[in-house]
Every structure is written in C-alpha cells, then in structure tokens.
Structure 1
C-alpha cells in the first residue's frame, strides 16, 4: 500500500503545566500472604477416635481436626520490606490425604524451608516432615510426615455449586495464640481464576468461610469433611476467600506426591512494583529458594528480583507473566533469566536449566531523571533511561500527519499529552526530538481514548529516521499489528510484519499500558504487561527517534497519553535472544 503525503510538522503548544510526581511502592491489597511467625501450640489431648467411611477417611466435622495439621517452618527468607532472615520461623496449615502421612499444603508455606515441624492433633511433640514436590504457580505442595496410621481426608466428588455449605479448617493466628478453628460459609463462585502477587491459579473457588493468616494450605470441606479445595488467600476488605479448586489441585497433587515438581523453578516469589534505592523496579521478588531446584542451581538468591524470563519482561507486579512462561516451558528446558540483586542493584543474566547467573552490569550508578528530564542520550547500561516525559514540558516534541492535514491539535494539559485529529483515516504522529545512539530501546506509555470513533488505533513508534520506522499498533477491538514503514520522498509504504488478537487490551475507552522493545532485529509488543506478539526484521538496525501515534476510522478522535519513557532494555541483548 502506498500513500502520497506532504509531511506537516508543528511544535506542541503547552496549555497547562503541572509538575507533580508521585512515586510509591505498590502494596498488594487484593490478597494477604498467609504466613506468620509464631510459637508452636502445645496440644495435650491423647485420645484419637474417628468417625470414618469404609475407606477409613474422616467423615464428620467433629473429627476433622485429626486430619488437619499445623506446620511450622524454618528457613532463610527475605521480604521486600525487611532484611535477610536466617532460620526464620513461619506457620501454616496442611491436611493429610493418606494414612501413610502424605499431606497437602501451600507452596508459600514450605518453599525454601530447611526444617519442617508438623503438629498432629492428640500429640504433644511435633513430627518431622519432608517436602515431596511443589507447584509454585498453583501454590501447592505435598509433604510426607514421619509415621503411619494417620487420620485422613478424601475429595468431594459431585459438582461444586454456588450455595453449597463449606467450612475452612486450620490454625490461624489470633490474639489468643494459635489453635485449631473452623469457620462456616458457602460457595459464592464455584469457578474463577486469579493473577495475584503471590499466586497465578487457573481454577479457584471463591467462598465465605473466613480465612485468616495461618490458614494457608488448609482444606475447604463440606459438612461431611470432604475436600473441595486448598485455601490460599483472602480479601478482607471484600470478605472474599479463595481456595485452589479440586479439579486443578488433584492432578497436580498426584504428581507432587510422586516427587515431581509441577510448574516450578524453585522459588517462593511475590510480584512487586515500586521504588528500590531510587530506581523503578518491577518483577518477581524471590522470598526463598528451594535447595537443589533450577533456581538454586542457577544462583538465584533470596532478595533477587526476576525482571525478565525468556523473552518476557515481568511488568505487572503479579506472578501472571512468570507463571505463563513456566507453564508453557518443558521440564528441563533452558529459560533465559535476568535478575536484579536487591542489596546492590547489580544485574545478572543466565538460564534456568543452563549457565549460572553472571553479573553483566549494575543499576546502582545510573541516575534516574525526574519526569520531564533528559536522562542520557548515549545510554548503554540495562535500565538506563534516555528520557522520561510527563508532558509538562513540550519543547522536545513535534508532530507530523500522514497524509497531510491541518485539522488536528497536539497540546499538553495537566501533565498529559492530548492529541486530537479531526479528519478520518489520517495518522497523527508525535515524536521526541532526540536521536538515540543506542541501537536497543524500550518505550512505554499509558494511553486512553477520550472521545471519537470506536474504530481507532493507538501506537508506539521506534527507530524513526528519514528512511522510515517501526510502529506497534493496538486497535480498539483488541487486535494488534507490528508495521514496517518505509519513506521515499513524499510516499510512505508499509508492511505488516506480525499481527493478531489479544484479550490483554482493555476496551470501552479504558486506559491501556503499551510497551515495545526494539533490540537488535527483535521487535516485541506488550499490552498491559502481556506480550502479545514479536517478530524479527533488520531493515532499520537501531538509533533514530521514538514517539506515539493515533488513527481513527471516522472523524473526531481524541486520545490522552499520561507519560512516555524510553530506556535501554534490562538485560539487553541477553534477555531477548529467541531460542
């Protein structure tokens, strides 16, 4: 396709200058991590009598406690808000599914623990236990308790329906100390999914049987003590409680009890997003590492922040992107990884199931420019910023229309870039007037359509020169395209390098975070932290300017951009090599 044009260039006009910058660490309010430090309970009862089914399993709530266990852990942990803790104690719940001592709990209860102590109802001393297998993305683990002849639970077989009476059993923390509790509720939503900071679970049960810190890993049961799921999180504000559903948990548990980890690299991780030593950091914080796991063997430590996995930048503060890669990788498959060491901001790259981590650079000495300030046009260190704009200062931006049109506006107002194009099927480009000397760049923006046609495109642009550029375009209907544009005099021609559809895009005039990586000949497009597509092209090897664009099928399109950042991709080029 060829389009004739006369390039129209105009400087942006400031309308209102606002210079407020708020930087903060984002805390996860959606789910509480159910691990706590507490002394062991002293249970002195000695009589063990159980109402059982023909199989010998517990079949009533009165005897449920005999199959539910309190788990204490010791290990080396490092929390985002705290320093390194060696031999730190934690507390959680589990439940026995086999009289031989096989029990189920959460990964975040036992991952990284070097010592497990399990308290059985009716006993005054804890028993030792070992971890057989873990699934960090489904937040499940199976342990084997020393001994035999234990009371145990079985699974609920009928269909799980909303309104079913359910009970949460476990050992939560309270003002009166730790002790066995049972809370009642109903199934409010029998099937759902979550991507949180502590879990990415495809099949969950939402219920109203109250969970408290310390209930992690305990069973969600019926009135006949049949297991529906494994409790792992709650939202106290909304009074919602969540369990890994039976249909997801059972097949994973069967593999774990056989000694096979499922969807795991060996970390106890939390999605994080915020400031660390004055640097903007987003990724997966490693609380602890399982001994002998791929994470341990590649050199991952507690306190490391995994910023890239495979070709993905982990950019949304959850475990979603991390777990998508883990689930789609084969066991033992090498996976590129980039981490930032939190104590000194050194950057390390390596591979799970491959070469160990090696230091490649540091972020410690990289100055982070304030919004609106120029960073370093010659930046070459991973994470170093070329520039960061909040659009309070428009002097470095200019506009171009294709084909030529005078009927548009490009202004800054309230710290936002506001673009308006009146005629239909005209593209309005806004570029930052700076040639980047580094061939690799990552660009990001937050954009929102304010008014105009439902059929429209919002795009990021990189490697802009007189010869052409690359454009990463999101349509209003959730489709995406990566274009190669060539310029020859007064003509533009474009080629679609890659295209597709994605559910990552927020529709109905909602804001969308767009990001694009141009690293070597690799082009990657992200929408709201999800990698939607990638391709390879070597037509424009690097450098040039960067910017944004809008296009409308009908007249009167208005779009706002809240910020724009251009930086050297973290881990570049190591994190972006395709297998």
Structure 2
C-alpha cells in the first residue's frame, strides 16, 4: 500500500485571537488533536463568548490547548515534516464528508472531516471539530451536495460528536469493521488534510493497537484519550473525524490526533467500535456518563468585558439581547431573577436553561436607566 509521491503541506496557524498569544512554531514531538484547521479574525473586545454559554478558549478545543498544541491554532511544522499522501480514491472516499464551521458568529472558520453512518444524514466526527461552532455545514464530495448540520449530542471525554444533516437522504455510508486493530496491519488515513476542501489519503501501518495520550488543558489540568490506535500514517491538521481504513477499505478508527514538530508523524484514531457505541447512545437520547444530548448552550447574545464586571461591549445581531433592547455600554444586573456581578454568574444561570426558554433580564443602560425584559434564549456555540 505504499505511495511514491510525497507532498509538503504548509503550516496553517491563527493570525489573531483576543487575549491569547499564539506562537507559530510547534513544540517537538508534541501530541495534538488534528481537527478542524481554524482561523480567526481579530476582535475588539475581550471576553467574547461568555454571554453565549462558553468561553473563547472552547472555540479552540480547550482540552488540546496549553503547552501541548492547540490544533485549531497550529499545524505541522512544515520546516521538519514532509507529509506522504495523495488524493483519496473513490473507494477510499465512500461515506467520508467535509465539515466546515463558522466560529464565534462569523469571527472564524474551521474545516474538518466526518463519517456518514446512515443514508439519512447521521454523521460522526470529533467533538473538537465542532466545539465552539455557531453554524456547521457538511459537504459530500461524491455528489457535491452541501447540507446544514446540527449537533445531536457529544462525548467530550472520548472526543466524539454526532451530527444530523438537514434534508439528507440516500447518502453513501462508510463500511465499518468493529474488530480490534492488530499490530502491523496496513491502514490508510483519509481526511480533509489541512482543510484543503478535498479528501487525501495517507498510508501506514498500525504501530500500537491500543495506546493512550495525554494533552494539557489551558487551565493547567490534563486530559487523557485512551485505547487509541497508533499508526505511522501521516495524519495532519484537518484530518480529525476522518477514516482510518484497513486493507479491505473498512473503517476501523476515526482520526483524532497526531504528533507534530517532527519529521516522523504518528497518527492516533479512536476505534470505530467505541465511536459507534457512543453514537448509538446519543441517537437513543440516553444522556448519562460522559454523553450529552444536544449541542448548543442557551445564549443571551451579548459580548461581555471580562475585566469590567458585566459591561456589555457587543450584541449579537438578531439575538435575545438585541430583541430586548440591550445595547453596548449597558451593564447586566440580573438574569432569571438572580443578581449577577460577573460573567461567571451569567454563565451559571444560563447553564440551567435550554435554547428557547423564556427568562427575565435586568440591566442598566449607558445613561444609567434601569430596564427589565423577558427574553427568549437563542442557541449559542456548540458546547
């Protein structure tokens, strides 16, 4: 299954993001999730996101930030890594789709990969591919059709999410093999490498059928992904959620991570048996353990200055706050009858609600006039 052509991929990195300094170079031999390559536009005010139900750090996949590598903000170090891949064949592409996200209500974009498991548009991918998304589209490269998608549920501990494509039918699906991977078996990693908008395939072998990796959270804690398939296939940024195929062309794993900053790349995949079990629980609506049903948190639709209490520095167009008349320069004083003095207070209250809930909000405008209104909460970014 060797391929003779070697392709060098360029480094994809974030140009700017509020309150976070992003180095360009990747640390040697670091393990990174390889999900959606993401870029961000600069924002004028700090604290963007808390009023939507999550912090800006979650847009970057918080479990993969800190001292390891944030996959959304950094790619392979192109000075050392030469990637061995070529365009995926029709057979390798069957059921594999391209995922594109809008992040932060238009402040950023992302690109990753997914696996279609039912003809009516159920797709599995990594949670970190869609985390923080305010809209998701999925393209089927075999037909050229593009679908809006919603998150039905996710397991952020095992890094799996399930999407439903709107108005989808008759889609090609992936063929899967639930048997455990074996040492030395030949594999091919297929995905939207570097977010290029088409599928690439990289060949390799299984170097460890069951291993664990540790990544650092931005809050200083650590998270572990265990029971992963390790390969020497050249898995890169954008491949997350893609297929790890065996020599029969069946999916045995879903790409999730890779080493970076080294000439030799190790890729990691979640066994497809684990992915399908989590998907079945989500589709059954069983919220338990690490599984959450639904994707988006309730959103008030304000941008709050994290350094100045609950001062509103931005309002989302057509959001709940705008409908209530909340404007920039206002200070939110209570949410759902609970006095709030910080963004943590607002987030805590919103965490007890779902999109569509009606709650009361009180605020003082820039002129010092007090107001109270009932608002219908919207949908925030994917949690």
Give the TM-score category using the shorter length: 0.5 to 0.7
- Output the CA distance in 2 between the equivalents of 1:69 and 1:302: 36
Aligned-pair CA distance for 1:171: 0.9
1:208 maps to what in 2? 232
Aligned-pair CA distance for 1:163: 0.4
Tell whether the 8 Å contact from 2:34 to 2:236 is kept in structure 1 after alignment.
no
Q: Which runs of no fewer than 5 residues in structure 1 stay unpaired?
A: 1-23, 39-59, 77-84, 267-288, 305-340, 356-579
Structure (1 or 2) with the greater helix fraction: 2
The question of 1:30 aligning with 2:31 is answered: yes
**SS state of the match for residue 63, structure 1?**
helix
- Output the CA distance in 1 between the equivalents of 2:158 and 2:250: 21
Tell whether the 8 Å contact from 2:229 to 2:271 is kept in structure 1 after alignment.
yes
Tell whether the 8 Å contact from 2:34 to 2:239 is kept in structure 1 after alignment.
no
Change over 3 Å in CA distance of 1:300–1:230 after alignment to 2 = farther
Tell whether the 8 Å contact from 1:117 to 1:127 is kept in structure 2 after alignment.
yes
- Output the CA distance in 1 between the equivalents of 2:296 and 2:189: 31
- Output the CA distance in 2 between the equivalents of 1:142 and 1:136: 11
Aligned-pair CA distance for 1:209: 1.5
Aligned-pair CA distance for 1:121: 1.9
- Output the CA distance in 2 between the equivalents of 1:208 and 1:65: 20
1:538 maps to what in 2? none
> 1:479-558 maps to which residues of 2 (within 5 A)?
none
Tell whether the 8 Å contact from 2:160 to 2:275 is kept in structure 1 after alignment.
yes
- Output the CA distance in 2 between the equivalents of 1:89 and 1:353: 25
1:126-160: CA deviations, max 9, x gaps? 11222111111111011112311111113213332
Q: Please, which of 71, 87, 97 is the counterpart of residue 99 of structure 2?
A: 71
Tell whether the 8 Å contact from 1:235 to 1:241 is kept in structure 2 after alignment.
yes
1:292 maps to what in 2? 297
1:156-187: CA deviations, max 9, x gaps? 1333211011111111127xx43210110111
Moved more, 211-220 or 122-131: 122-131
Q: Please, which of 147, 151, 157 is the counterpart of residue 137 of structure 1?
A: 157
Change over 3 Å in CA distance of 1:302–1:219 after alignment to 2 = farther
Count of aligned pairs? 240
Aligned-pair CA distance for 1:203: 1.7
> 1:180-579 maps to which residues of 2 (within 5 A)?
180-197=199-216, 200-236=224-260, 237=262, 239-260=265-286, 263=289, 290-292=295-297
Change over 3 Å in CA distance of 1:130–1:186 after alignment to 2 = same
2:111 maps to what in 1? 91
- Output the CA distance in 2 between the equivalents of 1:163 and 1:303: 53
Which structure has the larger Rg? 1
Tell whether the 8 Å contact from 1:216 to 1:233 is kept in structure 2 after alignment.
yes
1:520-557: CA deviations, max 9, x gaps? xxxxxxxxxxxxxxxxxxxxxxxxxxxxxxxxxxxxxx
**SS state of the match for residue 234, structure 2?**
coil
- Output the CA distance in 1 between the equivalents of 2:249 and 2:257: 20
CA RMSD of aligned residues (A): 4.0
Aligned-pair CA distance for 1:204: 0.8
Change over 3 Å in CA distance of 1:265–1:25 after alignment to 2 = farther
Compare relative contact order (CA 8 Å, sep 6+) and give the higher one, 1 or 2: 2
1:296-336: CA deviations, max 9, x gaps? 79x999999xxxxxxxxxxxxxxxxxxxxxxxxxxxxxxxx
Change over 3 Å in CA distance of 1:33–1:224 after alignment to 2 = closer
Tell whether the 8 Å contact from 1:103 to 1:144 is kept in structure 2 after alignment.
yes
Structure (1 or 2) with the greater strand fraction: 1
Q: Which runs of no fewer than 5 residues in structure 2 stay unpaired?
A: 1-20, 40-87, 218-222, 307-341, 354-383
- Output the CA distance in 1 between the equivalents of 2:304 and 2:257: 22
- Output the CA distance in 1 between the equivalents of 2:114 and 2:285: 18
